[in-house]
Amino acid sequence: MKNYVLLTEKKWHRTLYEDLIDFFPNDNWFLIDKKDSFNEEILDKIKPYKVFIPHWSYYIPNNIFNKYECILFHMTDLPFGRGGSPLQNLILRGFTETKITALKVIGEVDAGPIFCKKPLDLTGTASDIFYRSTSIIRDMIIEIITTQPDPYLQEGEVVYFNRRTPSQSDISELDNLIDVHNYIRMLDEESYPNAFIEVEKFKIEFYNSNFDNNKITANVRIIQK
């Protein structure tokens, strides 16, 4: 019997957690979904064999990844796309598919050795894509636990992504409908700032975009400034 931690702040990974409990009934699984709960003191009580990280927006301290094996799932074909906002950066570069990379956490961001990679379709909204990725990450975790692969060093050209800021969700300067549609769908998830434009007294946010016959239909949310 082994202890494992699933570290994620996203609600859609609750089903992932439940699936892993069902698949490995003889092991103990612990869900950590709050920043304040992810510390050495709590981990020392759990004593996890591995810490799996499907989504985490915070820095993982050296004292933790040096003590416990932490395995991160990153939505690019590393070493291409190290850094923040991988989904948005991929869509803006015209990608329609990517790979989820499972890698060991080390001191340098997204630079650790790789356990495995699996393909991921990038069609649909951000919410669609994240939910789709959940079953893929589940299968990757199962593969890592059952086959115990040796991680291999990253090879190839390193390309870095910059984390996007809320102000970059402004679509007022875009000049074609495809870009507008991509902005709306890549930010269409409740934890992201939706695509928006601003007028004097209002902020107008967009979601549920549909691009057809050279026009966009979308839902709109109008907020008093």
SS3 17: helix
Alpha carbon 174 to its chain centroid, in Å, reads 26
For residue 187, CA distances in Å to 5, 169, 221, 223 come to 28, 8, 14, 17
Burial of 78 (C-beta count, 10 Å sphere; 0-12/13-18/19+)? buried
pLDDT at 12: 87
Average model confidence (pLDDT) across the chain: 96
Alpha helices in 24-151 (DSSP H): 40-46, 62-65, 86-92, 126-147
Which of these, 25, 5, 154, lies nearest to 68 by C-alpha position? 5
The pTM (predicted TM-score) of the whole model is 0.94
Percent of the chain with pLDDT over 90: 95
Ordered structural domains, the chain, with CATH: 3-161 (3.40.50.170), 166-224 (3.10.25.20)
Residue 36: CB atoms within 10 Å:
7
pLDDT at 102: 98
Residue 220 has pLDDT above 90, yes or no: yes
Model confidence at 11, pLDDT cuts 50, 70, 90, reads confident
pLDDT in tens, 100-159: 999 999 999 999 999 999 999 999 999 999 999 999 999 999 999 999 999 999 999 999
Identify any residues that bridge with 210 across adjacent strands, giving them in sequence order.
217
Residue 57 has pLDDT above 90, yes or no: no
pLDDT in tens, 194-214: 999 999 999 999 999 999 999
Model confidence at 88, pLDDT cuts 50, 70, 90, reads very high
Residue 191 has pLDDT above 90, yes or no: no
Q: Helix and strand tally (H, E) in the chain?
A: 6, 11
